[in-house]
Amino acid sequence: MLPRHADPIAAIATAPGRGAVGIVRVSGKGLAPFVQGLLGRTLRPREAHYLPFPDAQGQAIDRGLALFFPAPHSYTGEDVLELQAHGGPVVLQLLLARCLEAAQGLLPRLRLAEPGEFTERAFLNDKIDLAQAEAIADLIDASTEAAARSAGRSLSGDFSKEIHGLRDALVHLRMLVEATLDFPEEEIDFLRKADAQGQLSNLQQSLGRVMQRAQQGALLREGIKVVIAGQPNAGKSSLLNALAGAELAIVTPIAGTTRDKVQQTIQIEGVPLHVIDTAGLRESDDEVEKIGIARAWDEIAGADAVLFLHDLTRQDAPDYVAADADIAGALPEKLPEGVPVIDVWNKIDRAPDGGHAPAAPQAGAHGAVWLSARTGEGLDALRRALLAVAGWQSAPEGVYIARARHVQALQAVDAHLMEAGAQLASDHPALDLLAEELRLAQNALNTITGEFSSDDLLGVIFSSFCIGK
77: helix, strand or coil: coil
Q: For 318-348, give the secondary structure using H, E and C.
A: HHHHHHHHHHHHHHHHHCCCCCCEEEEEECC
Residues 6+ apart with CB under 8 A from 328: 308, 360, 361, 362, 363
**Average pLDDT over every residue of 220-241:** 89
Q: For 83-123, give the secondary structure using H, E and C.
A: EEEEECHHHHHHHHHHHHHHHHHHCCCCEECCCCHHHHHHH
CATH topology of domain 133-219+403-450: Four Helix Bundle (Hemerythrin (Met), subunit A) (1.20.120)
- For residue 328, the tally of other CB atoms under 10 A from its CB is 18
What are the φ/ψ torsions at residue 62 (nearest 5 degrees)? Answer: -170, 170
Spans of all domains in the chain: 3-128, 133-219+403-450, 223-390
- Answer yes or no: is pLDDT of 429 > 90: no
Q: Are both 3-128 and 133-219+403-450 of the same fold?
A: no
Beta-strand pair 341-346/368-370: parallel
Question: Residues annotated as binding site?
Answer: 25, 82, 127, 233-238, 252-258, 277-280, 372-374, 469
So what's the pLDDT on residue 246? 53
CA–CA dist 446, 300 (Å, integer)? 36
CA–CA dist 172, 191 (Å, integer)? 12
CA distances from 132 to 128, 141, 209 (A): 6, 14, 20
Domain 223-390 in CATH 3.40.50.300? The answer is: yes
Question: Residues annotated as binding site for GTP?
Answer: 233-238, 252-258, 277-280, 372-374
So what's the pLDDT on residue 361? 41
19: helix, strand or coil: strand
The CATH classification of domain 3-128, taken from the options 3.30.1360.120, 3.90.420.10, 3.40.50.620, 3.40.710.10: 3.30.1360.120
- For residue 287, the tally of other CB atoms under 10 A from its CB is 8
Element (H, E) at 236: helix 236-244
The answer to whether the CB of 177 falls within 8 A of the CB of 431 is yes
So what's the pLDDT on residue 1? 55
Question: Residues annotated as binding site for Mg(2+)?
Answer: 237, 258
**Average pLDDT over every residue of 219-241:** 89
**Average pLDDT over every residue of 394-411:** 83
Q: What is the pLDDT of residues 119-137, one digit of tens each?
A: 999 999 999 999 999 999 8
Question: Residues annotated as binding site for (6S)-5-formyl-5,6,7,8-tetrahydrofolate?
Answer: 25, 82, 127, 469
- Answer yes or no: is pLDDT of 454 > 60: no
DSSP letters for 41-55: S---TT--EEEEEE-
CA–CA dist 245, 130 (Å, integer)? 38
**Average pLDDT over every residue of 264-275:** 87
Residue 146 confidence class, pLDDT cut points 50, 70, 90: confident
DSSP letters for 363-423: --SS-EEE--TTT-TTHHHHHHHHHHHHT--S-GGG-----HHHHHHHHHHHHHHHHHHHH
Please name which of 227, 226, 386, 225 lies closest in space to residue 297, comparing C-alpha atoms: 227
Q: Which range is least confidently modeled, 159-168, 318-327, 336-345, 459-468?
A: 459-468
Question: Residues annotated as binding site for K(+)?
Answer: 233, 252, 254, 257
Q: What is the mean pLDDT of the chain?
A: 85
Q: Which range is least confidently modeled, 51-65, 208-222, 364-378?
A: 364-378
